[in-house]
């Protein structure tokens, strides 16, 4: 099946897996990143569509935590729009080493090509190292001299690029292309800059680890890569770590990315820290204010309000003093009603669009790649993992929130609750009911 990018995972079986239903709170830096988006959007310095485009283009998309992607994407847009400059960013992060300048490898040395560094400076890089060689092992044939770094020149037209040693490196075809009919002595040479090469101790080794079912032509590697100040783990370790970060949220690089952007924007007086605090406080309290639950209970007890809510969610919410549109972009709030014959389920397969103004911060599982991939393709199995089994005759409708609409489910009122008061009714309407993965229980 076709996909428009790494973010577009609806129905992709490669992303199938159990959905981690564990809950966790958000760290302060994550909420500050969210607040930064709100404030930049309110000042016309960023749009949600710009953020989506930037996040989708991040080369390290799948290995970053959710708010790491937001922080990196917003930084790219701020540089693009001139809100901050690349020089500002370099100063805040510490200037990278722009030039190696001196030859450190010799002819005959066994080297491995490093994997693409996901921590590039916020935009899709101009790489002169071909992807099929990432992680490949070869031998240095000759030193070609020192040349201006093309990856730096591609983005730094106003300054002289640093010099980098360039080598001709030889590779064996049999090591590069698994399963293809290649002659044992055939090979390839490529020109590789020194920062992309790491020394391998000992004799020439194969690129294919028999314990790791990695195929060279899908550009993955089983090697650990040391970039000096940080180490890239194996592909499997990286994927496991990315999944773990979705629930534990230990992401020091993402945290630093968000903090550096916030620091720059505060220094430039784009907004004040008190404004950030107010947005964070509002987000933190939204879930506790039970806005979604209040809408449901009002609809259960007022049939006329229910019809207005289903016809125009934004206007109905406004009747109760609620703003249903998300703070960072004008959104249409659509409420869909569960009935005796139809059940509704909410997902966003492209990112994690969610009615945060009504329901607070999205739960981790809602943003997970497993939920986003599976909800549109095997929704009944997904509901079973949440403990909800639908009758075979029940029609299940999945709403994929892919653009400017945000959805909430109006669940069926349980029988036997006719005499209940508002507080009792609110107590049985959970966030999961509003997303369609649960139903109210007496």
Structure tokens at 192: 């590789």
Alpha-carbon distance 325 to 319, whole Å?
14
Catalytic entry in 78, 146, 351, 433: 351
Contact at 8 Å (CB) between 155 and 146?
A: no
Torsions phi, psi for 3 (to 5 deg): -145, 145
Radius of gyration of the chain (CA): 26
The torsion defined by the Cα of 109, 115, 121 and 122, in degrees rounded to 10, comes to: 170
Handedness of CA 196, 249, 247, 373 (dihedral sign): negative
Contact at 8 Å (CB) between 258 and 33?
A: yes
End-to-end CA distance of the chain: 42
Determine whether 325 is an active site residue: no
Structure tokens at 364: 């981790």
Structure tokens at 36: 């930064």
Structure tokens at 227: 């970039």
Catalytic entry in 221, 348, 368, 401: 348
Alpha-carbon distance 259 to 253, whole Å?
10
Alpha helix positions (H), 203-290 = 235-248, 252-267, 273-289
- DSSP element (H, E) containing 225: strand 225-226
Catalytic entry in 325, 353, 370, 401: 353
Alpha-carbon distance 82 to 265, whole Å?
12
> Quick one: which of 270, 315, 277, 199 has its CA closest to 35?
277
- Please report how the helices 66-81 and 48-56 are oriented relative to each other, as an axis angle in degrees rounded to 10: 110
Locus of tokens 């599982």: 365
Structure tokens at 102: 């001196």
Determine whether 146 is an active site residue: no
Catalytic entry in 352, 356, 370, 401: 352
Q: Is 267 exposed, middle or buried (0-12, 13-18, 19+ CB in 10 A)?
A: exposed
Q: What are the residue numbers of the active site? A: 348, 351-353
């Amino acid at each position: 099946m076709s996909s428009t990018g790494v973010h577009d995972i609806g129905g992709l079986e490669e992303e199938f897996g159990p959905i981690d239903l564990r809950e966790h709170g958000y760290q302060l830096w994550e909420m500050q990143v969210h607040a930064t988006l709100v404030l930049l959007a309110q000042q016309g310095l960023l749009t949600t569509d710009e953020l989506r485009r930037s996040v989708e283009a991040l080369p390290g998309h799948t290995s970053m935590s959710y708010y790491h992607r937001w922080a990196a994407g917003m930084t790219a847009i701020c540089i693009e729009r001139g809100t901050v400059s690349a020089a500002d960013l370099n100063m805040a992060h510490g200037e990278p080493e722009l030039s190696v300048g001196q030859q450190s490898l010799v002819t005959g040395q066994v080297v491995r090509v490093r994997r693409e560094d996901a921590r590039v400076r916020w935009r899709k890089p101009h790489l002169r190292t071909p992807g099929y060689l990432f992680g490949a092992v070869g031998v240095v044939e000759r030193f070609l001299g020192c040349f201006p770094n093309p990856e730096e020149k591609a983005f730094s037209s106003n300054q002289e690029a640093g010099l980098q040693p360039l080598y001709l490196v030889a590779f064996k075809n049999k090591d590069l292309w698994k399963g293809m009919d290649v002659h044992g002595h055939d090979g390839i040479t490529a020109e590789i800059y020194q920062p992309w090469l790491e020394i391998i101790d000992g004799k020439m080794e194969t690129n294919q680890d028999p314990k790791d079912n990695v195929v060279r032509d899908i550009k993955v590697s089983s090697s650990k890569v040391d970039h000096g100040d940080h180490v890239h783990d194996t592909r499997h370790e990286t994927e496991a770590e990315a999944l773990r970060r979705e629930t534990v949220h230990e992401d020091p690089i993402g945290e630093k990315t968000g903090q550096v952007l916030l620091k720059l924007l505060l220094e430039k007086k784009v907004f004040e820290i008190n404004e950030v605090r107010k947005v964070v406080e509002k987000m933190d309290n939204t879930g506790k204010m039970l806005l979604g639950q209040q809408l449901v209970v009002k609809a259960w007890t007022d049939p006329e309000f229910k019809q207005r809510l289903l016809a125009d969610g934004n206007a109905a919410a406004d009747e109760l003093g609620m703003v249903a549109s998300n703070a960072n972009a004008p959104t249409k709030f659509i409420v869909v009603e569960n009935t005796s014959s139809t059940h509704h389920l909410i997902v966003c397969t492209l990112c994690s669009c969610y009615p945060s103004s009504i329901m607070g911060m999205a739960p981790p599982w809602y943003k997970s790649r497993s939920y986003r991939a599976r909800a549109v393709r095997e929704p009944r199995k997904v509901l079973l993992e949440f403990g909800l089994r639908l009758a075979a005759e029940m029609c299940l409708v999945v709403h994929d929130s892919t653009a400017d609409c945000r959805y909430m489910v109006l669940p069926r009122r349980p029988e036997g609750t006719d005499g209940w008061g508002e507080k009792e009714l609110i107590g049985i309407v959970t966030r999961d009911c509003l997303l369609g993965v649960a139903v109210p229980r007496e």
